[in-house]
Amino acid sequence: MALPSLWRRERGGLLPTRDIWEPFDSLRREMERMFEDFSRDFGWRSPAISDRVLAPRIDVSETDSEFKVEADLPGVDEKDVEVVLEDGRLILRGEKKREKEEKEQDYYLHERSYGSFARSIPLPFEADPDQVKATFSKGVLTVTVPKPPEIKAKQKKIEITSG
């Protein structure tokens, strides 16, 4: 009984046949499916893993005087967004609503997501809720949290010397 050759002869020497990589591709696909199932079971879904989860993409930045969070919320109405300061966390909640559902259409590809979302960002200080500002413009929510005076006073830039 002859075994199939794993190598083929070409100019420049022996090269592996495509068949040698097939088990590895199969293993890679199976591992991806396993990690997807595992993360789903424990609720560790991230926006990159699944298009079914609505978690807004955010940018978090900090200056000497404030902490700023910008969240992309395309297709979300301002009245459907809630910003809460709770237990040292800034929580963004909301809902992306479907305007209308057309039953007569047959979908071949349906990637747009609708539903509730929430995102929690831990703050490195205790913030004053009365000083937090939130604005919504062109699908971007910007939340600015001023730092308390005692935090600003504790910060000092340390000069780095060589040698």
Question: What is the tens place of the pLDDT at every residue in 20-77?
Answer: 666 777 788 888 888 777 766 555 544 444 444 567 889 999 988 899 999 999 888 8
Phi, psi of 12 (to 5 degrees): 100, -5
Are both 141 and 64 inside the same structural domain? Answer: yes
Total count of domains within the chain = 2
Q: Which residue has the higher pLDDT, 163 or 14?
A: 163
- Inter-CA distances, 136 with 142, 144, 147, Å: 6, 12, 21
In a domain, 8, yes or no: no
Are both 76 and 145 inside the same structural domain? Answer: yes
Are both 35 and 105 inside the same structural domain? Answer: no
Cα-Cα-Cα-Cα torsion 113, 118, 122, 125, nearest 10 degrees, comes to 120
Are both 99 and 37 inside the same structural domain? Answer: no
What pTM value is reported for the model?
A: 0.57
- Write out the two tokens for 67: 């902490």
Residues 6+ apart with CB under 8 A from 14: 7, 8
In a domain, 19, yes or no: yes
In a domain, 117, yes or no: yes
Are both 101 and 133 inside the same structural domain? Answer: yes
Looking up residue 107, the CATH number of its domain turns out to be: 2.60.40.790
Are both 102 and 137 inside the same structural domain? Answer: yes
Are both 72 and 135 inside the same structural domain? Answer: yes
In a domain, 2, yes or no: no
Q: Percent of the chain, pLDDT > 70?
A: 63
3-state helix, strand, coil in the chain (%, to 5): 20, 35, 45
For residue 100, give the 3-state DSSP assignment: coil
In a domain, 48, yes or no: no
| Cα 143 to Cα 71: distance, rounded to the nearest angstrom | 8
Are both 22 and 98 inside the same structural domain? Answer: no
In a domain, 72, yes or no: yes
**Statement: residue 90 has pLDDT above 70:** yes
For residue 81, what are the domain limits?
Answer: 58-154
In a domain, 91, yes or no: yes
In a domain, 34, yes or no: yes
Are both 29 and 104 inside the same structural domain? Answer: no
Are both 24 and 102 inside the same structural domain? Answer: no
